[in-house]
Amino acid sequence: MRLPSNLKKRELYLDKIEPFIGTPVIKVITGQRRVGKSYLMYLLIEKIQKEIPENNIIYINCEDISFSTIKTYTALYEEILKNKKNDRKNFIFIDEIQDIPEFEKALRSLLLQEDSDIYITGSNAKMLSGELATLLSGRYVEFPVYSLSYPEFISFHGLKESEETLEKYADYGGLPYLIHLELKGTVVYEYLQSIYNTIVFRDIVSRYNVRNTQFLEKLLQFLSDNIGNQFSAKNISDYLKSQSTNISVNQVLIYINYLVNAFIVHRTNRYDITGKRIFEFGEKYYFENTGIRNVILGGYKPKDRGKMLENLIYNHLIFNGYKVYTGALDNQEIDFVCEKNRERKYIQAALTLNSEKVIEREFGNLMKIKDHYPKAVVTMDPFTSRSEDGIVHIPVREFLMNPF
């Protein structure tokens, strides 16, 4: 197959997937639409073509009209069999597989054949539940793909790290395709609006037969305007009732799950730091792409900087492989409890350390945690103002440029 020219490398993902090339497990690449899953496939194909001369590449894009006849798992299986070669390894790439009913049955049969090495992408988290998990238990590994990190955004666009660049990143988000557009508000926002419409109407409304699209959009506006706030489905239901929209708590939960499954938002649970347990209420929600969040609310405004700071921190943490919770310590809140490789870190987010009251609150909450894991306060301040008792202050630009 002919690959796009000038493919931009995303080394973090390639490094994660490389050890699994040629192994008998399905490589499942998930993420929101247009975060670069297809291009990651192209990078893998390029790598295989260079390093494994005896290869046979089979590529199917389920959204390409060229493959429009593939509407069932049997048609998918037959198309792959038709293109397989028995005298070499067959590297099978299937893009946006989630719309083929029972696709997991075709994958299971292919997995039984030792000459098959399978890679799939999907834009719906639900594809990893139910039948796929049951039929392929222990035979697949998931690789979540996210919007560009801040360093990737700088590299892709050839920019210098600066306050202005950070503002562009917060405003427009990190969808890879933006490298083909002029980084100006109207141009970028029109593109982001089209992506938003595709996610909402194709991945949610059409997929789940959603009838109350007006409520869905109100819910998205509510979440966009309440980044970093704790609430439950009941809180949302009560708020919407006050706005003359009568929706049950159960319906709110269902619609939120649709948004999470489509990767448009990420959900974080509350973690009891003392009792070491997960609460079943008080979630927070962050947007996968800050640019799409801004489009929903009609633009990025100065009053949003505190919310944006939290969203940028959260996205940086999950990009670097952390499982992230909101911490609860007695009556205090710890913005982020991050876990990776059995290690833990704590982060407080504050717009600025411009008063002793703010400093006492943000540092004081972290000081109450009686363990020796790393702790930090991340702010929009352009320089480090203070660190104490092992708790470091990190300006957000520095934080986003380095793994924490």
Q: Which pLDDT band, with edges at 50, 70 and 90, does 236 fall under? A: confident
Query: Which residue, 104, 128, 144, sits at the end of a domain?
Result: 144
- Amino acid 378: pLDDT: 97
- Amino acid 277: pLDDT: 84
- Amino acid 387: pLDDT: 82
- Following DSSP, what letter does each residue of 215-239 receive, concatenated? HHHHHHHHHHHTTT--B-HHHHHHH
Full strand arrangement of the beta sheet holding 270-272:
277-278, 270-272, 323-329, 332-340, 343-350, 375-379, 391-395
- Amino acid 351: pLDDT: 96
Q: Which pLDDT band, with edges at 50, 70 and 90, does 144 fall under? A: very high
- Amino acid 131: pLDDT: 64
Query: Which residue, 114, 144, 174, sits at the end of a domain?
Result: 144
- Amino acid 302: pLDDT: 87
Are 247 and 395 part of one and the same domain?
Answer: yes
Are 138 and 226 part of one and the same domain?
Answer: no
61 within domain boundaries: yes
pLDDT, one tens digit per residue, over 371-395 is: 999 999 999 999 887 788 889 999 9
Share of the chain above pLDDT 90, in %: 81
pLDDT surpasses 90 at 349: yes
Q: Which pLDDT band, with edges at 50, 70 and 90, does 147 fall under? A: very high
pLDDT surpasses 70 at 30: yes
Are 134 and 241 part of one and the same domain?
Answer: no
192 within domain boundaries: no
349 within domain boundaries: yes
Rounded to an integer, what distance in angstroms lies between the CA atom of residue 351 and that of residue 334? 15
Degrees, nearest 5: CA angle 127-133-136: 115
Q: Which residues pair with 118 in a beta bridge?
A: 92
89 within domain boundaries: yes
- Amino acid 6: pLDDT: 80
- Amino acid 374: pLDDT: 96
282 within domain boundaries: yes
pLDDT surpasses 70 at 399: yes
Q: Which residue has the tokens 């030792």?
A: 114
Q: What is the CATH number of the domain that holds 83?
A: 3.40.50.300
pLDDT surpasses 80 at 128: no
- Amino acid 130: pLDDT: 67
pLDDT, one tens digit per residue, over 67-118 is: 999 999 999 999 999 999 999 999 999 999 998 999 999 999 999 999 999 9
Are 115 and 219 part of one and the same domain?
Answer: no
pLDDT, one tens digit per residue, over 197-226 is: 999 999 999 999 999 999 999 999 999 999
What is the total count of domains within the chain? 2
pLDDT, one tens digit per residue, over 157-192 is: 999 999 999 999 999 999 999 999 999 989 999 999
Which secondary structure element, helix H or strand E, spans residue 267, and what is its range?
strand 265-268
Are 264 and 123 part of one and the same domain?
Answer: no
Average pLDDT over residues 3-17: 92
pLDDT, one tens digit per residue, over 264-294 is: 999 999 998 987 888 877 899 999 999 999 9
Are 263 and 370 part of one and the same domain?
Answer: yes
Q: Is the CB of residue 63 less than 8 Å from the CB of residue 154?
A: no
pTM beyond 0.85, yes or no? yes
Q: Is the CB of residue 40 less than 8 Å from the CB of residue 83?
A: no
Pairing relationship of beta strands 116-122 and 140-144 according to DSSP bridges: unpaired
- Amino acid 278: pLDDT: 86
Are 247 and 349 part of one and the same domain?
Answer: yes
Are 260 and 337 part of one and the same domain?
Answer: yes
Q: Which pLDDT band, with edges at 50, 70 and 90, does 321 fall under? A: very high
- Amino acid 18: pLDDT: 97
242 within domain boundaries: yes
Main-chain phi, psi angles of 4, to 5 degrees:
-60, 150
- Amino acid 127: pLDDT: 81
204 within domain boundaries: no
Judge residue 318's burial from the number of C-beta atoms within 10 Å of its C-beta, 0-12 exposed, 13-18 middle, 19 or more buried.
Answer: middle
Are 247 and 362 part of one and the same domain?
Answer: yes
**Collapsing DSSP states into helix, strand and coil, what is residue 389?**
coil
Rounded to an integer, what distance in angstroms lies between the CA atom of residue 41 and that of residue 93? 7
Are 262 and 387 part of one and the same domain?
Answer: yes
Are 271 and 395 part of one and the same domain?
Answer: yes
- Amino acid 275: pLDDT: 78
- Following DSSP, what letter does each residue of 328-379 receive, concatenated? EETTEEEEEEEEETTEEEEEEEES---SHHHHHHHHHHHHT--S-S-EEEEE
pLDDT surpasses 90 at 24: yes
Are 237 and 385 part of one and the same domain?
Answer: yes
- Amino acid 134: pLDDT: 78
Q: Which pLDDT band, with edges at 50, 70 and 90, does 231 fall under? A: confident
Query: Which residue, 129, 144, 159, sits at the end of a domain?
Result: 144
Position 250, amino acid: N
378 within domain boundaries: yes
Structural tokens at position 338: 């991050």
Q: State the residue range of the domain holding 130.
A: 11-144
Q: Is the CB of residue 187 less than 8 Å from the CB of residue 177?
A: no
